[in-house]
């Protein structure tokens, strides 16, 4: 019973209220319309297969400090589900995904920081950023390092993730994707490999610089809660500077 109470309290603690400075940032970029001019890093992306290619990577109000995804009007991004990476003990909810890959883009970097072989979508709350193929965009060109912390505002709360994978060479270059672990933290157990969150109201805010990489995180964690707890202090410090 005590263990159950502890785990419930830990989960509640990890579902964080949105700090006032981040809420102001969220409201500002949401209502600022599409990115243009010097604020536009790359456009021409879709948030789902039946959308228009009006989504972009942007750094308005965040120049030199990071980037985020912005759509037309008041749209931000949605959240499709990625199940790539280590498939050992994968969550059965990933079985419905038709494009799961057995490795993430940053498998080598994960191995350099830890004794695990790759990220696990059921444990590690990773975000998919960057695209290769028809439209190419590499966040590293703008100071974002692999495995760095990403603040995710979703479902009226703040979740910390890491940049863990890159969008592949799809017919329509997509944005707005995260691991099953992160999606579950945002929107609950209804998230599966084939069922994500369609509303474009999610902010993915990636931080630039080597200090945004949680090098001492608990990469070998056996649960989302364990890993999230190990990156929370760094996430809080980064968000406090917004």
Measured between alpha carbons, how far is residue 140 from residues 33, 164, 175 in Å?
25, 13, 16
**Closest by CA position to 26, among listed 142, 156, 182:** 156
Number of domains in the chain: 1
pTM of structure: 0.93
| pLDDT tens, position by position, 18-32 | 999 999 999 999 999
pLDDT above 70 (res 11): no
pLDDT confidence bin for 15, thresholds 50/70/90? low
The bridge status of strand 55-58 relative to strand 66-70 is antiparallel
Res 68 pLDDT > 70 = yes
Q: What is the pLDDT of residue 7?
A: 38
d(CA 122, CA 214): 19
Q: What is the DSSP string of 55-83?
A: EEEE-TT-TTTEEEEE-STT--EEEEEE-
**pLDDT for 109-136, tens place per residue?**
999 999 999 999 999 999 999 999 889 9
Query: Which domain, by its residues, includes 159?
Result: 2-239
Distance spanning both ends of the chain, measured CA to CA:
40
């Amino acid at each position: 019973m005590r263990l159950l109470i502890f785990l419930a309290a830990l989960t509640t603690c990890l579902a964080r209220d949105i700090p006032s400075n981040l809420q102001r940032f969220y409201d500002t970029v949401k209502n600022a319309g599409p990115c243009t001019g010097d604020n536009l890093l790359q456009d021409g992306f879709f948030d789902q297969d039946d959308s228009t290619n009006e989504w972009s990577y942007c750094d308005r109000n965040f120049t030199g400090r990071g980037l985020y995804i912005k759509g037309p009007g008041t749209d931000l991004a949605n959240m499709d589900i990625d199940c790539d990476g280590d498939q050992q003990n994968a969550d059965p909810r990933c079985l419905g995904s038709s494009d799961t890959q057995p490795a993430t883009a940053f498998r080598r970097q994960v191995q350099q920081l830890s004794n695990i072989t790759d990220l696990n979508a059921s444990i590690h709350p990773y975000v998919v950023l960057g695209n290769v193929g028809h439209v190419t965009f590499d966040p590293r060109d703008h100071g974002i390092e692999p495995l760095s912390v990403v603040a995710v505002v979703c479902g009226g709360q703040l979740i910390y993730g890491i940049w863990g994978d890159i969008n592949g060479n799809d017919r329509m270059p997509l944005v707005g994707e995260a691991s099953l672990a992160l999606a579950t933290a945002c929107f609950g157990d209804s998230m599966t490999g084939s069922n994500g969150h369609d509303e474009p109201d999610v902010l993915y805010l990636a931080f630039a610089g080597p200090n945004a990489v949680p090098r001492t995180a608990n990469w070998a964690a056996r649960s989302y809660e364990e890993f999230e707890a190990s990156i929370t202090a760094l996430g809080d410090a980064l968000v406090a500077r917004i």
